[in-house]
Amino acid sequence: MNYPAFFDHVEPIVVHDSLSGFLGTFEGGAYAFSYLEIVKSAGHSCPTVAGAYLLAREGLKALYGDAPANRGDIHVAFAQAQTEGVAGVIGAVFSNITGATTDFGFKGIGGKFDRTGLMSFQAEINSSVRLTRLDTKEVVDVFYDPSRIPADPQMQPLMQKIMQGAGNEAEQQQFGQLWQARVEQIFANVDQVIRIQKY
């Protein structure tokens, strides 16, 4: 399996999952998500998937500091409808990382570990996402602006040519490299693309 080398250098997201520990899946319920794992789940790497990963990682850092985030104990809210724009894509990444779902997730065991109702859309917020710790009620708004990392000017004409079926193999490869180079730059400039407001 070949993929861009920078995937392996993206800082992972460490979580503690009480359900996982209870069921003996991971010792102590501790494990980590890598960007590569999220990419495999999404099926691709792009500024949206990278942004969702960063929104989760940096937002959870703001809520938990150096401690692992408590998976299943975080409410996730988006301003957009689930079917609007890329909200559904971002929501899927957050579901993977935090366990939060609307009504389709794990419903718990004996009244514990319920993951449903922890994700909402069309919330009255102006950020990219709002995260709330259920135990402490701490809240963070996280903002993501990938426009600060512009695309290579060659990308648009290459994309058009390829989509029209006129691009050759070398051009397809070049386009993919340029696309992933922008994603790599997004990860390299987190302070430019992510802003956090804590309450």
Residue range 56-96, pLDDT digits in tens: 999 999 999 999 999 999 999 999 999 999 999 999 999 99
In-domain check, residue 67: yes
In-domain check, residue 128: yes
For 61, phi and psi rounded to 5 degrees? -60, -40
Q: Give me Rg for the CA atoms of the chain.
A: 18
| Average pLDDT over the chain, rounded to an integer | 96
pLDDT interval class at 137 (50, 70, 90): very high
Q: Residue 108 sits in which domain range?
A: 10-146+184-198
Average pLDDT over residues 110-136: 95
Average pLDDT over residues 87-116: 93
Q: Provide the residue type at 146 as one letter.
A: P
Tokens of 183: 């994603």
In-domain check, residue 168: no
CA distance 167 to 188: 30
Tokens of 79: 């301003």
In-domain check, residue 178: no
In-domain check, residue 74: yes
Q: How many helices (H) and strands (E) does the chain have?
A: 7, 8
Strands 194-198 and 119-120: unpaired
pLDDT interval class at 25 (50, 70, 90): very high
* Total tally of structural domains belonging to the chain: 1
The burial of 4, by beta-carbon neighbours within 10 Å (0-12 exposed, 13-18 middle, 19 or more buried), is given as: middle
Residue with tokens 């490299």: 177
- Whole-number pLDDT of residue 167: 85
Distances (CA, A) of 92 to 89, 149, 190: 5, 24, 21
In-domain check, residue 174: no
In-domain check, residue 167: no
- Whole-number pLDDT of residue 86: 95
In-domain check, residue 170: no
CATH number, position 126? 3.30.1330
Least confident of 80-89, 102-111, 127-136, 178-187: 102-111
